[in-house]
Amino acid sequence: MTNQEIAAQVLELVGGAKNVKNVYHCATRLRFTLNAAEPVQTDALKQTDGVLNVLGSGTQIQVVIGNNVNKVYNELTLLLPAAGITAQEEHPATAEKGRLLDRIFNAISGIFAPYLPLLMCSGIVTGLLSLASSMNWIDTAGGTYALLSAASNTLFYFFPILLSFTAAKQFRTNPFVAVMIGGALIHPTFMALSEVEGGVNFLGIPLIMQSYTSTVLPAIAGVGLYAIIDHQLSKILPDSIRNLVITLVGMVVVVPLTALVFGPVGNSLSSLLGNGLNALVSFNPLIAGIIGGGLCGYMAMFGLQWGIIPIILINISNLGYDYFTPMWMMGPYAQVGVALAVFLRSKDPTLKQLSLTGFLTGLFTGVTEPILYGLLTKYKKLNLCVILGGAVGGAVVGVTRTKVMAFLFAGVLNFPGYFGPTFPYYLIGMVLAIGVAALLALVLGYEDKKA
């Protein structure tokens, strides 16, 4: 089926355009919020050519497409305006009620997901610059280094502003006021106060001065408070003065509270979360590596990665490295291994194409959702191979304290973020994860009966 045909078929099976409240896409999935669950034909969706799997329930449906999801999404958007529906690429804020944990992860996803490509590319450039400078291939005092370094560090430096913008979309509030709240935290005048002897205060209240560049929690918390104020005042203020009053409150109330409360508390909580993760890893790196490599590769299936990604970013911001990510990435490499084994064993042309695409995509970019939903949810025996392969690779990188210097996923293209003294151990773990998983899958085979 063409992308246009896939889009039309999916739309029909979720109940048609009139049943779509909103839709957006991530790396591999179409994520629908529907008006009603009854018209959805889940079994037929799963059997549709071009659909790898269907997740979710009720009015929250995720249709796993694979690497061509953006093309299917583009075709889908052409079918929606006739019904008055506006599709959204980023996670839309909705009034849908659901489990608290789901809503938290959905909000985190919506705040951070738009920046994942930038995060990874920033890590790649940072790693390449680090390698080039250590090998004396580039003059660190020259303009070339300065310009590329600025390109790779800008995202992290201005994180409070950027996260404020996407947080505003999640909390359904004014994104321009939100950007002002995040920007105030890194304003040069405010930052300069940290060097004033004897400290400074706001209306007699002492300010705890510290750097908020690259921080995650303070700006998000400030925007969350502004959203609450916005929603409550909008109910009682007349339209003629509403925008003016609410914006003024954001400037003179929310910004000071963010600096006085959310900033210090957020930074302390950030350090606590990062130190907690490092303590768990350091307590027994072998066990941590086995668990991280063997099981954490499945986090994407349940959306749990959105709970850990902010902590990893905090770790890298505070320490300059992270121990957990290399362990976690051994799981995706093991998935790459079973995809290779299926490609070598299978006689089915469709399955061979799927497994080869999954292998190449996972090996080079670290995106393994086509393997997760196209192979592992259908052939249960392969999961044992992934768990054992990932555990072996995770044990190696755990015991050797392998580090990543920037936020990156698995994949050859992301190697620069792992460059450093522990990079050889990362390569060894990767080869073992792929090799063990592939060998086990070749020996054990895979089930012909779908789960």
Quote the pLDDT of residue 261: 86
Residue 164 binned pLDDT confidence (cut-offs 50, 70, 90): very high
pLDDT in tens, 72-91: 998 998 888 654 444 444 44
Secondary structure of residue 248 in the 3-state scheme: helix
> Highest mean pLDDT range out of 93-107, 205-219, 366-380?
366-380
Give CA angle at 293 (323, 26), nearest 5°. 90
Is residue 229 located within the same domain as residue 324?
no
Which of the two residues, 367 and 363, has the higher pLDDT score?
363
Flag whether pLDDT at 451 surpasses 50.
Answer: no
Tally the domains of the chain. 3
Domain end call among 241, 270, 299: 270
Is 170 found in the same domain as 225? Answer: yes
Is residue 435 in some structural domain?
Answer: yes
Other beta carbons within 10 Å of 39: 14
Helix (H, G, I), strand (E, B) or coil at 420: coil
Shared domain check, 429 and 310 = yes
* Rounded Cα gap, residues 77 and 64, in angstroms: 17
Which pLDDT belongs to residue 94? 42
As a whole number of Å, the end-to-end CA separation of the chain is 24
Element (H or E) spanning 77, and its range?
helix 69-79
The pTM score is 0.71
> Which CATH number belongs to the domain containing residue 9 in this structure?
3.30.1360.60
More confident residue, 263 or 395: 395
Query: 304 or 384: whose pLDDT is higher?
Result: 384
Q: Choose the final residue of a domain: 247, 270, 293.
A: 270
Taking only Cα atoms into account, the Rg of the chain, rounded to an integer number of angstroms, comes to 24
Domain coverage including residue 340: 282-444
The reply to whether 438 and 289 lie within a common domain is: yes
Residue type, 382: L
Whole-number Å distance between alpha carbons of 331 and 328? 6
| Active site residues per annotation | 26
List, in sequence order, every residue forming a beta bridge with 322; answer none if it has no partner.
404
Q: Which of 37, 54, 89 is the C-terminal boundary of a domain? A: 89
